Structure 1
């Protein structure tokens, strides 16, 4: 492994953590964070989550909640004022988020710090569990310590030189887990046109946007089928080109619901330790079987990440 490559990703993540911790009162610009890391948003947020254990947005929200919890313990400010400072528009929204994180309401959390019956017990703790060890601190002189995941990935990843591929596509806009509707339309158009007869044809999904920074209803992806160069496309199908080049490839075996975690491990665990860097192009998935001919636990999906 090239130490300078891992250092590149670590430095990008550390810069982002510092920026997040110092700008809690500002809305998080995820695109700008990725640009500062010299990565696309799609790739950066998966690297960040894999190395730190949570997304930038999750860290931002958690640190705000920790600051709010600290205020409940150390100040006389009203719960509504603390809620606004934490970025919540209503008392009710803050209470729901706080209860989910701490197990009690903000008022009960504050009461626990002053209840004399708790004198022999453990006082309320403002810090929430975080693998990174990054927590809210109101002392600007205190050094920020970040624990970067260092355990070796057990993913079986190979470097493949892939040829250029022509893909017949149906566009999908919306949550990625709803792309099945686009695949149904693809099959309805490709089948009658004879596009399913080619041996090199593979069902493929191409993803263009980062789900961490793009609203679900705006996410863009393509349901596709690899086809030969000399085949005419029927009306209703678009065309996309996947460039030839080097790709990191791993295979996920199991339900499609586990693909998000597989991508996170590939980007956040394997990539920073591999000596490789992300290249131009789009990440994509290839489906070697499907739910019509295999049970969920036997589904084979190949993940491809472009490399420089």
Structure 2
């Protein structure tokens, strides 16, 4: 049966993308459950209240706008739903441990040492960034800890791993070169049913550290899998970073890419991702290729921004021997 998450997805989009603040009463009206019950389900499923979720998402996106655009701090504050520069600065400092101005200076210092990444590259002047940069500020943030969250609380034999809804997926595999980027991540051994919770904790911590220290995000949230097992999965989850990454307590530093991979796209809920990996493995065997590293997943779609799980896009990469 569908998990509580599936019913909450439209509310997450409303909270994340609404032009104005959304009250609990309005969410209750949209959802059809009492405000008290909805608050309890939301807290248990998402790990924070609707108000906490909305404020965190707005602050994270404001931080990315500071890093990726030349908009003034006041413009960013108003866009994030704050009434004043002062109120925004107080909330921002509580969340990130520095003021908006300090964050922008750190980003500028980091960018002065390293060239920006190519896709929708952040502006290097103080002029407002182009629309592509503003869209990137909304797309790239791990605004909600729902990556790899299952939609179905119990296995359903009618849904094979190769299905997206009721449509069987055909995976197209391609061999391509991936540019090398830095990777800031945490490594954990987790039970399969705890993967989504671990990702929520890890992506949140990595994002917070990267933004607070002026690091430049270079791509979407990514996870590598050094080891699959029936009881535990070893995962390295984090964010691609442009330029040099200084060592920091509680985090590991490495790199992504710089190699050739067998790649495919999975469109649909995370419950079916296993079939995408199996399709790549079969292709590798049929083509006589050899695996040269750990498989990884790149979470292109933020579940908190797209209420239709059938449109969640994930890239699957398996490194190959050159």
TM-score by length of 2: 0.42
Larger Rg: 1
